[in-house]
């Protein structure tokens, strides 16, 4: 049956309106995901698009844990299952996503590039997963503005050492450290055995009723536990640990705990107040390699954290779907990029 010219025009107009509903224009340099009207739930049936009306910007730019695979997967989950509008930005080199690009001091001249950081201004929530980036001043200015905005932030794994040279964020005349000050801790070493001891997540008993932990169980990841504070100091004042990470004796789900190593905090919350004077909700997890996110428990922790960050904790339900959207076969972590199959690719390859 042939469509009339009026029907074609109406369809085209509707498509254009849908495209314009997203805060970020389509562009080959980044990925844009439109929030679905409803999502496929589990248990209680289809959910009610708990993320509708919120725009989440993801920033991927690290070299070890395959953030370039993990963040598009999470964006698909949030948009298709729960109605969030999502945008994924990548650190790029010569127009390609290049996790093999060196960092300083290995390459003293390197400068990284994250196209689209100006769209942090349109975000209701930012998810940050970078490592040792050296960004141009104009891009760093976009990050500083977001940190001054009072809007929330989720930081994953290497984000707590996400910047290197040129970082110069100042509040009330004092230079602010992204890891220690904004997030509540920075990488101080591998508490678990690097690339040979996995992590089992243990809920902090005193926080079992926290909405971020609603429905969260069996959190596991093959990456190791980070240490983020010295000795027995504990997390800084103002941080509330939600999940501890117990190192295991191997990298498989059912491996025994390494009882010679205590469980350390791997997920916590705090607030951050920048120059704008408005407190922002912060969630940081030191888990989060692409293969860690094969754990449904970790994906649920992330979804719940996103809703909590946005002040939507009343919408968190233990039956909200964290089912993967499409194929997700992440590469292993590590720096042997050629052996692992990591090579420069256009952003569209990660859709």
pLDDT range class, residue 20, cuts 50, 70, 90: low
Q: Is the pLDDT of residue 42 over 50?
A: no
What 3-10 contacts at long range (C-beta under 8 Å, 24+ apart), as own/partner pairs, is: none
pLDDT digits (tens, 9 = 90+) for 233-254: 999 999 999 999 999 999 999 9
Beta bridge partners of 171: 174
How many residues does the structure list for the chain? 351
What's the Cα-to-Cα distance from 254 to each of 60, 114, 246, 301, rounded to whole Å?
30, 39, 13, 20
- Helix, strand, coil % in the chain, rounded to nearest 5: 25, 25, 50
* CA distance linking residue 189 with residue 225, whole number of Å: 9
Contacts of 7 (CB under 8 A, 6+ apart): none
Q: Is the pLDDT of residue 44 over 50?
A: no
Which DSSP state fits 179? I
Q: What number of H helices and E strands is found in the chain?
A: 6, 16
Q: Regarding beta strands 279-285 and 153-156, do their DSSP bridges make them parallel or antiparallel, or are they unpaired?
A: parallel
The pLDDT of residue 313 is 98
Domain ranges in the chain?
A: 26-190+266-350
* CA distance linking residue 327 with residue 266, whole number of Å: 27
What average pLDDT is seen over the chain? 93
Helices (H), the chain: 5-21, 67-76, 82, 137-147, 296-309, 337-340
Average pLDDT over residues 77-88: 98
In a 3-state reduction of DSSP, which class is residue 153? strand
The pLDDT of residue 1 is 42
């Amino acid at each position: 049956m042939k469509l009339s010219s009026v029907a074609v025009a109406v369809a085209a107009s509707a498509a254009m309106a849908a495209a314009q509903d997203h805060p970020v224009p389509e562009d080959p340099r980044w990925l844009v995901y439109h929030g679905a009207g409803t999502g496929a739930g589990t248990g209680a049936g289809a959910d009610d698009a708990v993320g509708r009306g919120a725009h989440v910007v993801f920033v991927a730019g690290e070299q070890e844990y395959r953030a370039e695979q993990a963040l598009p997967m999470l964006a698909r989950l949030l948009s298709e299952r729960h109605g969030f509008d999502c945008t994924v930005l990548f650190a790029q080199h010569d127009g390609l996503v290049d996790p093999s690009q060196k960092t300083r001091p290995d390459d003293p001249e390197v400068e990284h590039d994250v196209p689209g950081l100006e769209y942090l201004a349109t975000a209701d929530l930012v998810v940050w997963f970078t490592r040792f980036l050296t960004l141009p001043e104009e891009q760093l200015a976009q990050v500083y503005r977001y940190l001054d905005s009072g809007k929330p932030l989720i930081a994953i794994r290497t984000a707590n050492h996400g910047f290197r040279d040129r970082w110069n964020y100042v509040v009330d005349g004092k230079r602010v450290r992204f890891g220690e000050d904004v997030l509540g801790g920075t990488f101080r070493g591998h508490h678990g055995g690097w690339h040979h001891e996995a992590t089992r997540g243990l809920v902090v008993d005193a926080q079992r009723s926290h909405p971020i932990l609603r429905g969260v169980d069996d959190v596991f990841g093959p990456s190791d536990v980070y240490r983020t504070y010295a000795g027995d100091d504990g997390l800084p004042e103002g941080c509330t640990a939600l999940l501890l990470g117990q190192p295991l004796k191997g990298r498989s789900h059912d491996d025994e705990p390494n009882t010679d190593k205590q469980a350390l905090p791997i997920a916590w919350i705090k607030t951050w107040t920048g120059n704008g004077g408005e407190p922002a909700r912060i969630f940081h997890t030191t888990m989060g390699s692409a293969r860690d996110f094969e754990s449904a428990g970790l994906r649920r922790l992330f979804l719940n954290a996103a809703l909590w960050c946005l002040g939507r904790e009343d919408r968190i339900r233990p039956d909200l779907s964290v089912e993967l959207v499409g194929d997700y076969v992440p590469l292993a972590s590590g720096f042997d990029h050629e052996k692992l199959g990591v090579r420069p690719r256009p952003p569209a390859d990660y859709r």
